[in-house]
Amino acid sequence: MKKIGIFYGTNSGKSSAVAEEIEFYLKKEQVKLYDVKEGVEAVEDYENLIFVTPTYGVGELQPDWEARLPKLQNMDFKGKLVALAGLGNQLAFGESYLGGLRILYDAVVEGGAAIIGRTSPEGYVYKESFAVKDGLFVGLALDEDNESVKTPDRIKHWVSSILPLFRD
Ligand SMILES: Cc1cc2nc3c(=O)[nH]c(=O)nc-3n(C[C@H](O)[C@H](O)[C@H](O)COP(=O)(O)O)c2cc1C
């Protein structure tokens, strides 16, 4: 069985619900959920990681993630596989959609992580997103404020694409 750590930060609960939904689709695996409000120390215990964050401010990281960012920036991510999922609002924040996701991406890539689960921006309606790099989102892009109906399918397909890549 694959051991996977899911770490999320949330202000209003949508990201924790998404983390639980990801856990649901990973059903046969050994998964543990962590609210980063309680810390990120447990990240060290996993080779298989999923980070979930909404974006706040204008393209900024969720505050609990932001508070833990220096700790993440000091961690060694070499040998770790990291999949990222972001929540944002494409209509209200169409020019800073998912900016927080890119901040997390940069931190873990800098630490040596291998990123899995990048996705196509096709079909999304935002204007600008810092989370798009070389034509792809750096992770799974969700919009619970405007497109919640699409979320279960998006998560399901994404999980089935990353699951074979995680280490046993
Ligand atoms: C004050 C505020 C600022 C926000 N800024 C952004 C933003 O810059 N980009 C974006 O994509 N979404 C932005 N959002 C939308 C949130 O990321 C979105 O509602 C998310 O689903 C909230 O997740 P949570 O319930 O886990 O906190 C913002 C929301 C609020 C309330």
- Go through the domains of the chain in sequence order and give each one's CATH number: 3-165 (3.40.50.360)
Ligand 1, pocket-test mutation among 16, 61, 93, most atoms within 8 A of CB: 93
Give the DSSP letter of residue 129. Answer: -
Distance 35 CA to ligand 1 centre (A): 17
Query: Could you tell me the two tokens for 42?
Result: 């447990």
pLDDT digits (tens, 9 = 90+) for 15-68: 999 999 999 999 889 999 999 999 999 999 999 999 999 999 999 999 999 999
- Is the full-model pTM beyond 0.95? yes
Q: Which atom of ligand 1 is nearest to the CA of 11?
A: 27
- From the list 27, 28, 26, 32, the residue with the least C-alpha distance to 8 is 32
Taking the CA of residue 12 as reference, the ligand 1 atom at the shortest distance is 25
- Per-residue pLDDT of 14-30, as tens digits, reads 999 999 999 999 988 99
User: Cα of 85 to ligand 1 centre, how many Å?
Assistant: 13
Beta strands in 125-165 (DSSP E): 132-133, 136-137, 140-142
- Distance, in Å, from the CA atom of 101 to the CA atom of 157, rounded to the nearest integer, reads 19
Show the ligand 1 pocket: residues with CB < 6 angstroms: 10-15, 54-59, 87-89, 93, 96-99, 144-145
Please name which of 37, 21, 9, 22 lies closest in space to residue 104, comparing C-alpha atoms.
Answer: 9
